[in-house]
């Protein structure tokens, strides 16, 4: 069926399904899954049909191929609501037969391995989709090696300079200190021999993306990063795991707070292992993972271990999780979500989280994501407990509600009648369940205020396209957005859970075509770009017409437009070969250039609505609002405004700053948003 078809690389297309099948063969999956890998693109890309596959290969394989085809056809949109709906579909497909997602993950892995043959803009889209969805999904399924490779391949596309920088520093480190992996491996093996324990030892440097993420999370330079080396000790029995742990801690000093026992408290995807970090040779911190062979197989392949075969025989691994039960635990909390946005928040938080295990005063275990607080603990027990929470005790001591919980702690929630959730709790909570419950409560409590604010935002957005935000229009939008009524639409707009622009575009899809036209106008706005390149403005500085600009090239993504005074340029000042001389075209520009302004307002009735009206009167569109700090007397928010040029932006900011209820106003620029 694939005869005559070629890949972007020029190779025969059949090399791709064969490679996907090989990836799944390495994980020793069953015949039906491997056959599906070989056939997975036949319905999508050839004249092959479901009926023919069913006739020649059986109903099981046909259903799997059809499931993979449906997954492939899911366009994972940038729009949150649609993306949430796609997550629902993805989980529905998984619930029918989880092997479908295993084939899809292997398909994505091979496509990422060969991504250099795709067009640059498609590389970026695929890499971002992989980093946001497929890599964390593989991690949540326990397929750690696949997750790490997907992340690192995406990292190479999305931030090649950072990845190359880390690899160069590794080379420098090895030149200075030598290759420490074989030395530490030998040290560990010596201790095992002395203790009479038979085990295998494997050492490796962590992946560049793993190191980069740790640098970002801990705000550390590479030179200050410690545990960049990891070692695995594979034992014969569970008892040996704990004996090895004793030997390691006797030989090297354990790092406090870096011990986790996932053997006694397994993760929900079946992962079992002991983790500890010690100060090893020359004081270098090294992470050590200790597990049995069967635990290791589950650690590498996760949920896929359920279908594992060896020498043609089904292998029963006692640590492999039943896929049906795993999926049930993944989705049980999502069922409480009232809308798509809440569901998506649940999905993302659940997939990206590591877990901590805490105890109720009665000794019941509560699983929470890493970084969870007593607020999350309270809501995980019951929404009523969360709403009425006034304090918490951890291991018998009173602690603030923003305290980060740790493994093994006992948590007692104190409640009081009449207590209601505070707006600040949204920033304290980590779990999707807690955040959603708090938002629902606040939305009901402040519904009148949010509806009034939403009405003002909607009025401005509708007037900008020559329409009116009538009750009939809002009720129609509610039906299209699967919300209760027009009042709920306004409440969502007022609470910044839905943008007025999304509502307008939902009612008038032709406006999206107008957006495409303005995108063409934006492309014409910059002179000096290489032929065929789109205009990509750096979000760290958000340059607009009227400001001096320069282009900086990024491998695999083309040039990005920076303002000449952008602090991010300091990082590439000695790489002159990457600089491109650019300038804005003359004449009037379209109001398509998004700029973020940081404003602090009085928390008084009608103030925010008045500010939105002021911006609208300057013929500038508000594309998004994001509250970053709410206090009883003031609140601070970021407002995304679309302007024509620097003069237009100045007019908008002057009009807003002149309002007596505006405490501070400035243009928001942040290196955290650099390319």
Q: What is the pLDDT of residues 121-135, one digit of tens each?
A: 888 888 888 887 788
Is the domain of 386 the same as that of 338? yes
Reference 30, options 128, 88, 98; nearest CA is 98
Is the domain of 296 the same as that of 334? no
**Catalytic: 617?**
no
Quick check: is 280 in a domain? yes
Boundary-marking domain end, from 408, 424, 440: 424
pLDDT-derived band at 78 (thresholds 50, 70, 90) equals very low
Least confidently predicted of 190-199, 273-282, 353-362, 511-520: 511-520
For residues 611 and 578, the answer to whether their CB atoms sit within 8 Å is no
Q: What is the pLDDT of residue 587?
A: 78
Convert the pLDDT of each residue in 474-531 to its tens digit: 999 999 888 889 998 998 887 777 878 888 888 887 765 555 445 455 556 788 887 7
Q: Give me the CATH number covering residue 76.
A: 1.10.3210.10
Show the domain range for 353: 328-424
Asked if residue 557 has pLDDT above 80, the reply is no
Asked if residue 307 has pLDDT above 70, the reply is no
Least confidently predicted of 286-290, 553-557, 590-594, 655-659: 553-557
The residue from 26, 31, 44, 647 that is catalytic is 44
Quick check: is 663 in a domain? no
Is the domain of 267 the same as that of 285? yes
Q: What is the pLDDT of residue 483?
A: 87
Q: Give me the CATH number covering residue 395.
A: 3.10.20.30
pLDDT-derived band at 352 (thresholds 50, 70, 90) equals very low
Where is 250: in which H helix or E strand? helix 238-251
Read off the tokens for 510.
Answer: 């032709």
Q: What is the pLDDT of residue 30?
A: 82
In 37-116, beta strands by DSSP E: none
pLDDT-derived band at 665 (thresholds 50, 70, 90) equals very high
- Please report the DSSP string for 134-149 in residue order: IHHHHHHTT-HHHHHH
Least confidently predicted of 6-15, 326-335, 472-481: 326-335
Is the domain of 181 the same as that of 285? yes
Q: Give me the CATH number covering residue 185.
A: 3.30.460.10
Question: What is the spatial distance between Cα 163 and Cα 165, in angstroms, rounded to a whole number?
Answer: 5
Q: What is the pLDDT of residue 606?
A: 76
Rounded to a whole number of angstroms, the distance between the first and last alpha carbons of the chain is 42
Question: What is the spatial distance between Cα 99 and Cα 451, in angstroms, rounded to a whole number?
Answer: 46
Question: What is the spatial distance between Cα 26 and Cα 37, in angstroms, rounded to a whole number?
Answer: 13
Is the domain of 154 the same as that of 172? no
The residue from 45, 85, 148, 238 that is catalytic is 45
The number of beta carbons lying within 10 Å of the beta carbon of residue 122 is: 11
Quick check: is 151 in a domain? yes
When divided into structural domains, the chain yields a total of 4
Question: What is the spatial distance between Cα 480 and Cα 155, in angstroms, rounded to a whole number?
Answer: 37
Boundary-marking domain end, from 271, 305, 339: 305
Asked if residue 429 has pLDDT above 50, the reply is yes
Q: What is the pLDDT of residue 210?
A: 78
Q: What is the pLDDT of residue 21?
A: 94
Q: What is the pLDDT of residue 274?
A: 92
Q: What is the pLDDT of residue 81?
A: 40
Q: What is the average pLDDT value for the chain, to the nearest integer?
A: 80
The CB-side HSE value for 594 (13 A sphere, CA atoms) comes to 15
Question: What is the spatial distance between Cα 645 and Cα 591, in angstroms, rounded to a whole number?
Answer: 8
**Please, what is the angle between helix 160-177 and helix 208-218, to 10°?**
100
Is the domain of 144 the same as that of 47? yes
Quick check: is 169 in a domain? yes
pLDDT-derived band at 439 (thresholds 50, 70, 90) equals confident
Is the domain of 204 the same as that of 225? yes
pLDDT-derived band at 575 (thresholds 50, 70, 90) equals confident
Asked if residue 171 has pLDDT above 80, the reply is no
The number of beta carbons lying within 10 Å of the beta carbon of residue 634 is: 15
**Catalytic: 179?**
no
Least confidently predicted of 14-23, 88-97, 188-197, 296-305: 88-97
Reference 623, options 507, 492, 461, 482; nearest CA is 461
Q: What is the pLDDT of residue 512?
A: 59
Read off the tokens for 268.
Answer: 């929900």
Asked if residue 395 has pLDDT above 80, the reply is yes
Is the domain of 153 the same as that of 167? no
Boundary-marking domain end, from 424, 453, 472: 424
pLDDT-derived band at 330 (thresholds 50, 70, 90) equals low
Asked if residue 632 has pLDDT above 50, the reply is yes
Least confidently predicted of 235-244, 348-357, 454-463, 495-504: 348-357
Quick check: is 654 in a domain? no
DSSP 8-class letter at 481: T
Convert the pLDDT of each residue in 178-223 to its tens digit: 677 888 889 899 999 999 999 999 988 778 887 777 666 555 555 4
The predicted model scores a pTM of 0.50
Quick check: is 124 in a domain? yes
DSSP 8-class letter at 547: S
Quick check: is 241 in a domain? yes
Pairing of strands 229-235, 285-292: parallel
Is the domain of 345 the same as that of 377? yes
> Mean pLDDT, to the nearest integer, of 248-266?
84
Is the domain of 171 the same as that of 249? yes
Q: What is the pLDDT of residue 304?
A: 61
Quick check: is 318 in a domain? no
Is the domain of 152 the same as that of 180? no
Sorted by sequence, the CB contacts under 8 Å of residue 16 that are 6+ apart come out as 7, 41, 110, 111, 114
Question: What is the spatial distance between Cα 607 and Cα 622, in angstroms, rounded to a whole number?
Answer: 16
Is the domain of 195 the same as that of 71? no
Higher pLDDT: 324 or 57? It is 57
> Mean pLDDT, to the nearest integer, of 643-650?
91
Provide the CA 413 distance to its chain's centre, in angstroms: 30
Question: What is the spatial distance between Cα 138 and Cα 153, in angstroms, rounded to a whole number?
Answer: 14
């Amino acid at each position: 069926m694939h005869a005559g078809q070629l890949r972007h690389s020029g190779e025969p297309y059949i090399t791709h399904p064969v490679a996907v099948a090989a990836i799944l063969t390495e994980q020793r999956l069953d015949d039906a899954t491997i056959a599906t890998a070989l056939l997975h693109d036949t319905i999508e890309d050839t004249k092959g049909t479901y009926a023919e596959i069913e006739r020649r290969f059986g109903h099981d394989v046909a259903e799997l191929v059809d499931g993979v085809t449906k997954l492939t056809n899911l366009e994972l949109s940038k729009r949150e609501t649609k993306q949430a709906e796609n997550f629902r579909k993805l989980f529905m497909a998984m619930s029918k037969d989880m092997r479908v997602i295993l084939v899809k993950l292997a398909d994505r892995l091979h496509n990422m391995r060969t991504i250099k043959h795709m067009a640059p803009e498609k590389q970026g889209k695929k890499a971002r989709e992989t980093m946001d969805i497929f890599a964390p999904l593989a991690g949540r399924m326990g397929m750690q090696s696949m997750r790490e490779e997907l992340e690192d391949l995406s990292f190479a596309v999305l931030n090649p300079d950072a990845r190359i920088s880390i690899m160069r520093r590794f080379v420098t480190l090895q030149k200075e200190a030598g290759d420490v992996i074989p030395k530490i491996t030998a040290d560990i093996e010596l201790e095992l021999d002395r203790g009479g324990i038979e085990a295998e030892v494997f050492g490796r440097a962590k992946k560049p993306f793993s190191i980069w993420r740790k640098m970002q999370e801990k705000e550390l330079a590479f030179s200050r990063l410690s545990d960049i080396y990891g070692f695995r000790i594979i034992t014969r029995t569970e008892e040996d795991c704990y004996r090895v742990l004793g030997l390691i801690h006797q030989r090297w000093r354990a790092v406090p707070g870096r011990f986790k026992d996932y053997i006694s408290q397994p993760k929900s995807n079946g992962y079992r292992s002991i983790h500890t970090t010690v100060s090893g040779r020359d004081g270098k911190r090294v992470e050590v993972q200790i597990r049995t062979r069967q635990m290791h197989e589950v650690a590498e392949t996760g949920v896929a271990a359920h279908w594992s075969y060896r020498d043609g025989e089904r292998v029963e691994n006692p640590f492999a999780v039943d896929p049906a039960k795993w999926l049930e635990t993944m989705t049980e909390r999502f069922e409480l979500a009232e809308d798509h946005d809440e569901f998506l928040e649940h999905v993302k938080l659940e997939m990206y989280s590591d877990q901590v295990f805490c105890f109720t005063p009665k000794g019941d275990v509560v699983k929470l994501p890493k970084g969870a607080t007593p607020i999350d603990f309270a809501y995980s027990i019951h929404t009523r407990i969360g709403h009425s929470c006034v304090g918490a005790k951890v291991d018998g001591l009173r602690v603030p509600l923003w305290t980060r919980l740790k493994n093994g702690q006992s948590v007692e929630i104190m409640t009081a009648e009449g207590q209601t959730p505070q707006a600040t709790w949204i920033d304290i909570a980590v779990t999707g369940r807690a955040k959603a419950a708090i938002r629902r409560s606040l939305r009901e409590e402040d519904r009148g205020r949010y509806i009034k604010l939403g009405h003002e935002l909607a009025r401005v957005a509708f007037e900008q396209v020559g329409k009116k935000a009538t009750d009939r229009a809002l009720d129609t939008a509610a039906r299209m957005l699967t919300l209760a009524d027009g009042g709920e639409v306004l409440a969502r707009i007022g609470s910044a859970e839905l943008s007025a622009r999304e509502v307008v575009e939902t009612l008038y899809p032709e406006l999206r075509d107008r957006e495409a036209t303005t995108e063409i106008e934006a492309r014409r706005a910059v002179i000096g770009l290489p032929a065929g390149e789109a205009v990509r403005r750096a979000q760290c500085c958000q340059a607009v017409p009227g400001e001096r600009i320069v282009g900086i090239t990024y491998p695999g993504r083309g040039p990005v437009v920076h303002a000449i005074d952008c602090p991010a340029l300091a990082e590439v000042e000695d790489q002159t070969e990457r600089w491109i001389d650019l300038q804005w075209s003359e004449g009037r520009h379209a109001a398509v250039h998004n700029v973020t302004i940081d404003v602090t307002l009085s928390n008084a009735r009608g103030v925010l609505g008045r500010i939105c009206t002021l911006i609208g009167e300057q013929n500038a569109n508000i594309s998004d609002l994001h509250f970053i700090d709410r206090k009883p007397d003031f609140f601070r928010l970021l407002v995304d405004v679309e302007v024509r040029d620097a003069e237009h932006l100045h007019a908008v900011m002057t009009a807003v700053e002149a309002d007596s209820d505006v405490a501070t106003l400035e243009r928001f620029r942040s290196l955290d948003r650099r390319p």
